[in-house]
Chains A and B, each alone.
Chain A
C-alpha cells in the first residue's frame, strides 16, 4: 500500500475530534451533526454471508449497520471503517453487492438508498482507504497510545492552548 494513500488518510482524519473516552454511538452522532447529515448506528444480526459492517447512504441521512455480538473494541473498528467510507466520500453502487442490497432494501426504501459500502475484504482502493482510516483512528483511541489523550479542564481551553503553543510543538489541542 502506497505512502501517498497513508498520507491522504492521515490528512482526512487530522482535524477529527474523538470523544474521550471513545464512544462509537456518540462519535456517530457528533459526526452526523458536523456533516449536517444525521448518522445513526444500528446493531443488527447480519447473516454470516454478509460483511460484518455496512453503511447505507440515504438522501438525507446515513445509516451504519454493524453485526451484533462483537466485542466492544472490535465493534469500534468495524464502525470506524464505515465512518472511513463516509469521511473519504466513497459512493458505491447500491447494487454492487446483491446480498447486501437485498438486506438493506428489506429494511429501507430502495429508492432512497444511494450507496452501500460493506466491509468484507480489502480488494478495492476504497476498502483499503476505509480500513486504513479505521486503523489510524483506532490506534489513536486505544489504550497503548496514552499521550494522544487530552484532558482540558472546563473553560480553561484558552490557557492550555496558549501554553502548548509556546512550549509544545506548536500544534493546537485535539491534534494527534
Chain B
C-alpha cells in the first residue's frame, strides 16, 4: 500500500507547492512563503517514506533505514511552517514572531534528539514498510518513537485548534472550508499517533497493535490529501461556486425565455443589448459563469421593466375571468395568481399585436392611497420563482388559453374593445 500511496501523496504535495508558489511570485507574503515551504517538506516526508526511495536512499548512504529519520525529521519543519503561517495570520506580528521563535527552538531540539537516538540505536535490517512495528522493542528506537510521536500528536492538536479558530473568525466561505479541511487532516493524524503509541507501549504491556497497522496507514493516507486541498481551495473553490451559480442561473434563464420574449417584443426599448453577436466570447469558466448571472439579471430586469410599461393597460375584467376559471379548475393559490397575471399580460400583448389601442388607466395623483405593489417576490430568488410560474402559465396553462379564447376581439360572439382605427 505504501508503495502506491506515498508517491501519490508526495506528488500531490509538490503540485500544490507549485500552485501556491505561483502566487508567491506575484506578491511577497511571509505566511504564503511558509505554506509553500510546508509543501516542500510534506512532499519530502512522503517521498522518503516511499519504499522505493527509502531503499535507494539507504543504499546511497550505506545506512539502513536512514530514510525514516529523514522522513520523520521533515515532519517537524513541515508542522513548524504550518504553525508559523497560522500564527502570522492569527496574532499581531510581534506576538507571532515570539511564538514562532519559541516553537522553532523547541522543534530543532526535538529533531536533534530524534537524530541522536536513531543513530545511537544498533543498525537494523533494511525494512522500508514495517520498520516501526518491528523495531519498537529496541530501547533507542523506542525512545526515538516516543519523542517523535508525542511531539507530533501535540503539534497536531495545536494546529487543529489554531486552524479552527481562524475558520471561526470568518472571511470568505472557501477560506473557512479550506481551514476546516486542514483541521480535519490534522485530526486524522491522531489515530495514526494512537497506533504508533501502542507500538511503543507494546514493550511494556501485552497488546498487539500490529493488527491496527492498516488503520494507521488509512488515516495517514486520507489525512495527507487534506493539506494540498485545504491550503489551495480558497483559491480555486470560488470557481466551483461560480460554476454552480452558472448551472443554477441557466435553468431559470431559459424557463423565463417565453415570458421575456413575449414582453420585449411588445416593449422592445427595455432591452439593453450588451451581448452583441458571437456566443463564443468569454470562454474562461469564470467569465461565462459571471455572464450567466449577469444575463439572468438582465432577463429579470427586462421582464419587470416591460411589465411596468404595460401596467396601465392591464384589464381587471380579464383578471376576474381568469381568477374564476382558475378556481373552477381547482388551482392552488400560487398557480392561480400566476394564471391571473399571465392572462392579463397575454390579453395586453394580443391587443398590441392586433393594433388595438387599450385605455390607459391613470391613477389619480392626488389620491392618498398608495398603489398596490406588483405581484411578485420579496427577494431575487422569489421573484425568479414567481416569474417562472407566470412564464409557464403563459405558454402552457389551459385556463389562460380559454380566457383568451373567450375574450378574443376577433370573434364575433364576444363584445370586445373596438380597434382604434377601424
The reply to whether the CB of B200 lies closer than 8 angstroms to some CB of chain A is no
Contact indicator A69/B371 (Cβ below 8 Å): yes
Among B134-142, B147-155, B296-304, B327-335, the stretch in contact with A: B296-304
The reply to whether the CB of A95 lies closer than 8 angstroms to some CB of chain B is no
Contact indicator A151/B270 (Cβ below 8 Å): no
Contact indicator A45/B365 (Cβ below 8 Å): yes
Query: Known interface pairs A45-B371, A143-B380. Does A166 touch B242 (Cβ–Cβ under 8 Å)?
Result: no
Among B65-73, B85-93, B104-112, B414-422, the stretch in contact with A: B85-93
| Interface size, B (range) | 35 or more
Contact among B179, B235, B293 with A168 in the assembled complex (CB-CB below 8 Å)? B235
The reply to whether the CB of A132 lies closer than 8 angstroms to some CB of chain B is yes
For the complex, what is the distance from the CA of A134 to the CA of B308, rounded to whole Å? 17
Contact indicator A167/B178 (Cβ below 8 Å): yes
A169 smallest CB distance to B (angstroms): 6
For the complex, what is the distance from the CA of A153 to the CA of B300, rounded to whole Å? 33
Query: Known interface pairs A47-B365, A73-B380. Does A162 touch B172 (Cβ–Cβ under 8 Å)?
Result: no
Which partner residue on chain B sits nearest A119 by CB separation?
B305
The reply to whether the CB of B254 lies closer than 8 angstroms to some CB of chain A is no
Contact indicator B304/A74 (Cβ below 8 Å): yes
For the complex, what is the distance from the CA of A15 to the CA of B249, rounded to whole Å? 25
For the complex, what is the distance from the CA of A70 to the CA of B378, rounded to whole Å? 10
Question: Which of A75-134 touch B at CB < 8 Å?
Answer: 77, 120-123, 128, 131-132, 134
For the complex, what is the distance from the CA of A142 to the CA of B377, rounded to whole Å? 13
Contact indicator B374/A156 (Cβ below 8 Å): no
For the complex, what is the distance from the CA of A153 to the CA of B371, rounded to whole Å? 41
The reply to whether the CB of B42 lies closer than 8 angstroms to some CB of chain A is no
Contact among B166, B248, B305 with A144 in the assembled complex (CB-CB below 8 Å)? B248
Chain A residue numbers with a CB within 8 Å of B241 are 146-147
Query: Known interface pairs A77-B301, A159-B89, A163-B171. Does A145 touch B312 (Cβ–Cβ under 8 Å)?
Result: no
Among B23-31, B48-56, B185-193, B201-209, the stretch in contact with A: B23-31
Chain A residue numbers with a CB within 8 Å of B294 are 135-136, 139
Chain A residue numbers with a CB within 8 Å of B85 are 166
Contact indicator B373/A166 (Cβ below 8 Å): no
The reply to whether the CB of B216 lies closer than 8 angstroms to some CB of chain A is no
Contact indicator B311/A135 (Cβ below 8 Å): no
Query: Known interface pairs A139-B294, A170-B23. Does A68 touch B311 (Cβ–Cβ under 8 Å)?
Result: no
Chain B residue numbers with a CB within 8 Å of A4 are none
Contact indicator B235/A167 (Cβ below 8 Å): yes
Contact indicator B231/A163 (Cβ below 8 Å): no
Among B2-10, B255-263, B272-280, B341-349, the stretch in contact with A: B272-280
Query: Known interface pairs A52-B308, A69-B372, A121-B270. Does A1 touch B380 (Cβ–Cβ under 8 Å)?
Result: no
The reply to whether the CB of A48 lies closer than 8 angstroms to some CB of chain B is yes
The reply to whether the CB of A26 lies closer than 8 angstroms to some CB of chain B is no
Query: Known interface pairs A139-B293, A163-B89, A168-B235. Does A173 touch B274 (Cβ–Cβ under 8 Å)?
Result: no
Chain B residue numbers with a CB within 8 Å of A27 are none
The reply to whether the CB of A25 lies closer than 8 angstroms to some CB of chain B is no
Contact indicator B169/A145 (Cβ below 8 Å): no
The reply to whether the CB of A6 lies closer than 8 angstroms to some CB of chain B is yes
Chain B residue numbers with a CB within 8 Å of A74 are 301, 304, 308, 374, 376, 383
Chain B residue numbers with a CB within 8 Å of A152 are 170-171
The reply to whether the CB of A72 lies closer than 8 angstroms to some CB of chain B is yes
Which partner residue on chain A sits nearest B371 by CB separation?
A69
Contact among B29, B273, B362, B374 with A165 in the assembled complex (CB-CB below 8 Å)? B29
Q: Please give the residue numbers on chain B whose beta carbons come within 8 Å of chain A beta carbons, in ascending order.
A: 23, 26-27, 29, 31-32, 35, 85, 88-90, 166, 168-175, 178-179, 231, 234-235, 238, 241-242, 245, 248-249, 269-274, 276, 290, 293-294, 296-298, 300-301, 304-305, 308, 311-312, 360, 362-363, 365, 370-381, 383
Known contacts A141-B380, A147-B174, A168-B235; 6 additional CB pairs below 8 A are A69-B373, A73-B300, A121-B269, A135-B301, A142-B380, A164-B171
